[in-house]
Every structure is written in structure tokens, then in C-alpha cells.
Structure 1
Amino acid sequence: MLAELLGFTPDIDPMTPGAMVDVSNIVPTERGFAALESPIAVSGALLPAACFGAAKVRKLDDTKRTLAGTQTKIYELSGSAWNDVSRAAVYTTGPDSRWRFVQFGNATLCCNKSDATQVSISGAFADLAGSPKASICETVGGFVFLFDTNEATYGDSPDRWWCSGLYDYTTWTPSSTTQAATGRLMDTAGRVIGAKRLGQNMVAYKLRNMFLASYVGAPFIWSWQEIPGEIGAISHECIVSIGTEHIFISQDDFWRFDGVRPTPIGTPVRKWFFNRVDPKYIQRVQGLHDRQRKLVVWFYPSVGSNGVCDSWIAYHYKMDKWGAGSMNVESIIEYASNGMTFDNFGSLAASWDALPNIAYDSPFWISENPVAAVIDTAHQLNTITATPGAASMTSGFFGDDTEFTTLNKVRPRWLTIPSAANLTHYTADYAGVALSNHGSSALYLGAFNPLWSGRWHQIKLATSSGSFELAAVDLTLVPDGTQ
């Protein structure tokens, strides 16, 4: 019996062939399923306080800046040190606010709603004169956008948007000549929670609604249309752009949006996720685009975590499959190293033996390859590129209500075989009753030999460390008779 694996599917019928009712640190791949790599420190430097937002940005000459904000400071990574690039006055980021960064030409802008919008070409940031305070910043088509703003003319306007002058981030006074403009999204209640560019358009998200903006030029500059349906986003950080689409989380589902209509994608995991995420801190969910693995990974606070993002759920947007696991993070970032040559080898390690535990074929070593990275709860920047740690996957049930069978061999269809693994075998004589645990068997010659009889069988495959990848499981079930 060959079972092609469907991925993490806790919400579907567990008797479905290939279902996985539980996983730990497993992600879908284009060929099957694998253990997610572990985090490893980029440098020995720690941020001096908790991170409230981070970004890797590129200037016009393709030089890169790695930036992170705490409640009171902004820092830039230089070599192995975080340098303070704050303005002179300390910042006052709220406990549930975030620093959001965006690049416009050579200018890096960031905002947190509590303080003036900040700008830096290089070195220290400074207040961006004439601009509103804002909780969200984004760029598209030669404009800088600010959302959920506060300034002298209109005051605190949670549903207001502003755009700068065309190709001029320093101009904010509305004018058909400069094309700086402002307006409100008042067709529905609530503040703007998130905003992302999509091609040459802008998409703004409220909790229950979405709005698509198209450039129309003077005198209106931008035309906004509400997307039909009560669909919005739970946070700005949960909205992940993969270039041609946004993938995001609403109050009750996961969605893809291509600029025309939102499509729900969360059927296999939706109930499981919303039972696990802490509703008190759901606005802290952060999504990351892992380009190399074709994944969107959301880090979220589980119930009982006191608001710490300690778990993750991953969606493979090419294969339409899911994975899940755990990891403690403060902020997420897409990181690109400066590459490694013989000339700069000494900046990373004093010897070959001292190199970080990252595979030589990892994109980490190539300067143009962005990799998924996180700032952990110790305020350390890590790339997710090290040897995987413990991982496991638990199948659904196979068998039937009438016939007893003995499971005497499980042969995974390995794409990359692990150095060691164990398989735990469970049985039940009736659907819905408690399972009996029959212990574990070790991997031997690429297979497992559990040898136990029952009407219904379930298996859990686990590794303690190391890489593996598999696409299917071949199960040998020997009929024992009916009762």
C-alpha cells in the first residue's frame, strides 16, 4: 500500500490516505516533505533590547543595509556589530507597535506611529520634515505611502492614507502638480491594519475589508475600490508578498490575492490554527517569504506563550501544501549575506573547523541569494540554514472497521535518507477509541519493521537531528482475518 503524503492536514478526515494529523518542524518541498533547517547566528552581536521590527533593504547601487528597531533606538548591522543609527532624541515605540521599514531609491524610511516618520540615506536617521506620523509605510510607482496617520491638519486618522510627491519622498503637501495626496478609506469601519504593493497597485487591509488602489494621475492621483467580501488581515506583518500575489491571514482563514479576487487556501489547517493561536496576541503574527524553499512561514504566539511568537505554520505556494513547527522569535527578516571569498574568510571564522554549521551548498554563502532569517528572543540575528534539529510527522489512520491486519514493514520513499530515525506504531480496534502504543522501531536498511496487528494503524516517524526528505510511505499490511 503506497500512500502519497498530502502534508499537514489536521482538519481533514484522518482516514484520508496520506493525511498527516500532526507534524513537528516539517515543511513541504517541491518533491515531498523535509525537516526545516535550524537557526544559526549570523554574528556574535546581540541587539541591546527586544526587536520591534527589522528589514534588509537595497540601495540603487545594490548595496544592502540590515536594520532593526527597539522601543527606543534604531540599529544597523555593520560586520559583527549593531551600530546605533538613531536620531538624537529617543523613540517611544508602543508595546504592541512595530517598526516598519521601506526603501525608496537611496532613502530608507521607517515609521512606528508614535514618532515622526524617519529617513536615512546613510548613517543616522532623522525626522522626515512635513510628513505625517504613521504606523505603515510602503512604496509603489514612484510614491511613498503612509497609512494610519497622525499630523496637525487632520489629527489622528486611523483610516487615512497619504502619498508623497511623485518621485519625491520629501513632499507631502497635497498638490495636483507634485501629485502628493491624501484621503480616507471610509466605505467600511475600522483602521488600516496593513498595506502592500501588488505590481503597480497598492492594497490596503482593514480587519474585515480590503481596498485596491490604482494610479489615475491628476487631479485624483489614486482611485480606491473595495474588494467584495468581508475579508481583511489580522496584522500588517501577516501579509506576505510573493511578487505576483499576497498571501495572508484573515480573522478566520488563510488567503491568496492576485489583484482580482481573494481565494481561501486554509481548509486543511484553518480550525487547527485558530484553536492554537492566542486571540489576545493574534496581531503579533509575522509572515516571512522564504524564496529559496517557495514557502510562506507565519510565526505566531500560541495559547499560553504570553504573547511570544513560539510556533510557526508554513505554506508551500507552488505545491499547495502545509507544514508546522516551533521556534521562538521576536522579528523576522529576509537576510542576504555579503558572500564569502578567500579575502573575507577571516571575518567569519579563524579556521575551516570554526565555520558555522551550514551546508556548503546553502544559499547563505552567495551574496545575491536572500535567505529566511529571524531575530530570536535573545535578540540574536539568525539565518534558518543550519542542520535540522528534531522533527516528526504522524500519519492519519489506515485500515478498516472489519478486517484485522498486521503491519510488518514501513518503507518510506526517501529522497534524502536520514542517518537515523525511529517509527512508533499505534493501533486501535475501533475508529474513535484510544490508541495503543506498541513502541518504536529503528530505521534498518531504509525501512522499519513494527509487526503488530489491529484494525486501524497509525505511525509516527521521528528524527533527532539531520536532514531528510521523503515523498511517500509504502506500507505492508498482511490480512489476519475478520471479527
Structure 2
Amino acid sequence: MRAQLVGFAPDLDPETPGILTDCDAIIPTTQGLSAANSLVDANLPALASPATSAFIALLLDGTKRVLVADGPRIEEASSGAWVDRSRVGGYSGTNRMRWAVFGNNVLAANRTEVIGQAVPGSGFTDIATSPAASIIVTAAGFVMALNVNQAQYGDAPDGWHCSGIRNQATWTAAAATQCAYGRLLDSPGAIKAGAALGSDVVAYKDTSMYLGRYVGPPLVWQWDRVPGDIGCSGNESVVVVGTQQFFIGPSDFYVYDGTVPRPIGGATFNSTATPVREWFFANLNQQYRERIFGVADIPRDLVYWYYPSTASSGELDSCLIYNFRTNQWGRQAVGVQAALLYSSGQITYDGLGGLYATYDDLPDIAYDSSFWLADSQAPAVIQDGVLKTITGEPGPSWLVTGDFGDMASYSMLKRVVPRYIVSPASATGTNFYRASLGESRVQDFTVDMARGRFDFRRSARWHSYRLDFPGRMSINGLDMELTGATPE
């Protein structure tokens, strides 16, 4: 019997061919499933306080600024250290810092203070006339502030306010500057998220969405409600990939391209249903769902969503991984504080000596990794206050298959041969069996891989397997020797 492995799909019938019912540190690739990369220290000291958000700003001349909000400060990575770039007096409140780039200006907002701006090489200063905003987005030559509070217009969680055109410092509504203000009142609740979609802006409430489009004076921006009762509760759960936004809604995962939001991840299984939906929302700590943090790994076609599980008290302790090319899923148990795209462009051959004393001190990253390319960006996280890239050699991983067999008859399992794309240095395999899919699986033998295979001997109606790997590995299927047998 041959099975093509098609990823983590715990919601489906366990006899669905090729699914994984559980796994850890497994990512879906265009060729199959691989062990997840480990985290590598980016050679920066630990932050003084836990990070709440992080951002990489790409400026007009191609230079990049890596910024992190940690408590009352904004800090920038510079020459192997963190430099305080905070506004005078620091920051207060408990809201996440949100970021945007407008020309060469980096903007920051946390809905407690007014929007701040930083020109290249300097710290943040207040834009005195701007609103306090929960979310800021740049599109069509404007800065768009969402969920705003300003003395002139009052506190408006459902409000939007755009700057003057091509001027991030103009915030007084006027036809001449096209600065404008309004509210999204067609559905209840506050604006929870926002992101640019080309020159448009998408605003999300908990169970509704709006598409904003620049139309010029006198309306300036026109907002149309997207049909349906779909929204999202956290700004960082919206991940922009090209002309699409991937996001976590109230009860499913969606992609939006300016038409209608569509559930994702079901095409592989000839279904429109996302095969991790029920499992995810049962394992998500709903009280802290607004803390979900997403980041894209464009070269590998992946979206990582870090989320608080029911085992956490609000900390991001788990990750669900989606491949938007193959519509397949993986997962990993990992704790982080924030996620971002990180650029290693500041590392050059001439500067290696200032970062690492010897070649043995270099991080455990493959020489052909995009991490070493000057213009590349790699997904990264902040873990325990330390910035780490997701580029290291893979560590331990494991997967559990669905069930193979027949309800009407027993079969004898003799052998499992993985079809590796990249063979691991070693592996162990454990077989499980049961007489009915409604019963609990019974653990049987654990054996070491020998000659690229696992040898078992078990008669049962249903068989499944757990495979454990110590490091680098890529697999796309299993060949199993199942023969007829009499019941035990």
C-alpha cells in the first residue's frame, strides 16, 4: 500500500488517505513535509522588557530599520545593539504598537499617544495634530488611521481618519488637503484590524469587513461593507501576501483578494472546509485571540500563525503553519513574544569579525540559506526578549499518520518504508493499532529505522504510525506492507 502524505488535517476522518492526525515541528513544502527550521540568535542582546510587537521598515533608498516595542520603549537594532528610539517621555498603555512606513518616515501608533514619526537615523517624535490610533496603514498616498481618538472628533473605535494626501503631518479635515474623517456604522463594534490591499484599505471588525477605496474629493475615501459576517479580532492575524490577505476569522481561516473572503486549506482534500478549523478553535485560548501574531515566509510559500493555546495564560505558545501554494498545514509547539520579517543585510563578509570571533562561532545556518543574502528577508521571532531568525538547522520533529486498513477485515503489518526527499540521519517508528476507528489507539512497538525502513509485526483492522526524526528531514509518502491475516 502506498500513501502520499498531505499534511496536518485533524478535523478529517482518520482514514482519509495521507493525512497527519498530529505532528510537531513539521512544515508543508511544495514537495512534501519537512522538519521545521530551528531558531538562530540574531546576535543582538536581550531586550530589557518583554517585546509586544516588532517591525522591519524598508525605506526609499533600500535601507531597513528593525524596530521593537517593549514596554515604554521603542528600540532599534543598530550595530549589534538595541538603541532607544522612544519619544520623549516614553509610551504608556497596554495596546500593541502598530507600524507603517510613509516615504522615509516610520510611523508608530498605540492608541494611547498620538501617532509618532521617525526620520532615518533618529528617534520618534509626536505628530501633534494626529489622532491616537489603534491601527495605521499607508495606501494611495495617505496615512489611514483606524479605531481613533482625537479631541476634535472624540473617541471613535469604529472611526477612520486619513492624513492629507502625501503629507503624514496634516490631520485637520479640509477639501484642499483631502484630509478626511468618518465612521463605519453599518455593523456594530470597533475596528480590530486593517491592512492595505494594493491602493485600497481593508478594515476588519470582529464579524464584518469593509473595503476602503480612494475616490477623491469631496468623499475622498469610500467604504463598502464586504458581504457576509466575517471579520477578525486581531490586527496581527492578518498576513499580506502579494495581492491577498490571509487572516483568521471568528470560526475559520480565510483569504481575501478584494472580492469575497474564502475559506482556505480545503482544496487538497476535495473539500471547501479547512481541515484544521475545528481543532484550532478548540485549542485556541479564546480570551486572548486578539494576540495572534502572523508572519509570512514568502520564499517558502508559508504563513506562520503564533497563537495562545488553551494550555497558556495568554502567552503565544503554539504555531500553525499554512502553505498557500499546496493548501497544506503543519504545526509546531514554540513560545514567542512577537514575529516579524527580519533582514540580515547588515551582515557582510568584512564585518563578520566584529560579530563572531571565529568561524566556529557562526550560527548554525546553511551557507546556501537566504539569510546571508544582503537584500533578503527571513521570518523571525522574539523569544524571551531575544531576536531569533527561523533559519537554523532543523531540530527534532515528529508526525502521526491517519489510519490504514479496512473495517471488514484484519491485515498484517510487516513493514513501513518512508519515501524521503531528504533522508534523516536516523529515526524511530512506533506503530499503533485498533479494531475500530471509534476506539482509542493502542501503542505497540517502537523500533529504530534500519536500511531506510521500519519492520513491525501486528495484525489488526487499523494501523497508524508515529515517526520521530532528530534533525533535517523531508518526506512525501509511505510504502506499507500490509497483507491479509486472520483475527487474533
TM-score (ref. length: structure 2): 0.96
Which amino acid letter does the alignment assign opposite residue 415 of structure 1?
A: I
On the 8 A contact 1:49/1:379 being kept in 2, the answer is yes
Matched, 1:295 2:294: no
Which of 106, 124, 127 aligns to 2:104? It is: 106
**Cα–Cα, structure 1 residues 340 and 120, in superposed 2: closer, same or farther, change >3 Å?**
closer
2:151, 2:407 → 1: CA distance? 71
Give the match's secondary structure for 2:367. coil
In structure 2, what is the equivalent of residue 371 of structure 1? Answer: 378
Deviations 1:429-481 (A, max 9, x none): 233223221121111121111222211101011113x1111111111112113
Per the TM alignment, residue 340 of structure 1 is displaced from its structure 2 partner at its CA by 4.2
In structure 2, what is the equivalent of residue 214 of structure 1? Answer: 213
| 1:213-362 map, 5 Å | 213-265=212-264, 267-338=274-345, 340-362=347-369
Per the TM alignment, residue 199 of structure 1 is displaced from its structure 2 partner at its CA by 1.1
Matched, 1:470 2:470: no
Which of 468, 472, 485 aligns to 1:480? It is: 485
**Cα–Cα, structure 1 residues 44 and 336, in superposed 2: closer, same or farther, change >3 Å?**
closer
Give the match's secondary structure for 1:46. coil
Which amino acid letter does the alignment assign opposite residue 110 of structure 2?
A: N
2:76, 2:132 → 1: CA distance? 22
Give the match's secondary structure for 2:177. coil
Superposition RMSD in Å: 1.2
Give the match's secondary structure for 2:360. helix
2:154, 2:92 → 1: CA distance? 19
Deviations 1:59-103 (A, max 9, x none): 111111000112211100002110111122121031xx1011111
Unaligned runs of 5+ in 1: none
On the 8 A contact 1:402/1:482 being kept in 2, the answer is no
1:434, 1:272 → 2: CA distance? 18
Deviations 1:174-202 (A, max 9, x none): 12211111110011100100000001111
2:84, 2:346 → 1: CA distance? 24
In structure 1, what is the equivalent of residue 446 of structure 2? Answer: 440
Matched, 1:461 2:467: yes
Which amino acid letter does the alignment assign opposite residue 476 of structure 1?
A: E
1:22, 1:259 → 2: CA distance? 34
On the 8 A contact 1:339/1:366 being kept in 2, the answer is no
Moved more, 330-339 or 105-114: 330-339
Per the TM alignment, residue 482 of structure 1 is displaced from its structure 2 partner at its CA by 5.8
Which amino acid letter does the alignment assign opposite residue 364 of structure 2?
A: N
Deviations 1:104-142 (A, max 9, x none): 100000000011211000311110121001010110111
Per the TM alignment, residue 215 of structure 1 is displaced from its structure 2 partner at its CA by 1.2
Aligned residues between the structures? 479
Matched, 1:404 2:410: yes
**Cα–Cα, structure 1 residues 285 and 441, in superposed 2: closer, same or farther, change >3 Å?**
same
In structure 1, what is the equivalent of residue 184 of structure 2? Answer: 185
In structure 1, what is the equivalent of residue 457 of structure 2? Answer: 451
1:430, 1:159 → 2: CA distance? 52
Moved more, 425-434 or 8-17: 425-434
On the 8 A contact 1:339/1:365 being kept in 2, the answer is no
Deviations 1:264-318 (A, max 9, x none): 1252000000010101111111111111211111000011311000001011001
Give the match's secondary structure for 1:237. helix
Matched, 1:23 2:23: yes
Matched, 1:118 2:116: yes
Give the match's secondary structure for 2:353. helix
- Identity fraction in percent: 38
2:44, 2:66 → 1: CA distance? 15
Which of 418, 423, 428 aligns to 1:422? It is: 428
Give the match's secondary structure for 2:290. helix
1:193, 1:161 → 2: CA distance? 12
Give the match's secondary structure for 2:235. coil
Which amino acid letter does the alignment assign opposite residue 4 of structure 1?
A: Q
Deviations 1:400-440 (A, max 9, x none): 12322121111111100111111100111233223221121
Which amino acid letter does the alignment assign opposite residue 117 of structure 1?
A: I
On the 8 A contact 2:459/2:487 being kept in 1, the answer is no
Which amino acid letter does the alignment assign opposite residue 331 of structure 2?
A: A
**Cα–Cα, structure 1 residues 353 and 245, in superposed 2: closer, same or farther, change >3 Å?**
same
Deviations 1:10-67 (A, max 9, x none): 0000011111110111110010000110111101411100111110111111111000
Per the TM alignment, residue 342 of structure 1 is displaced from its structure 2 partner at its CA by 2.8
TM-score (ref. length: structure 1): 0.97
On the 8 A contact 2:146/2:159 being kept in 1, the answer is yes
2:281, 2:306 → 1: CA distance? 13
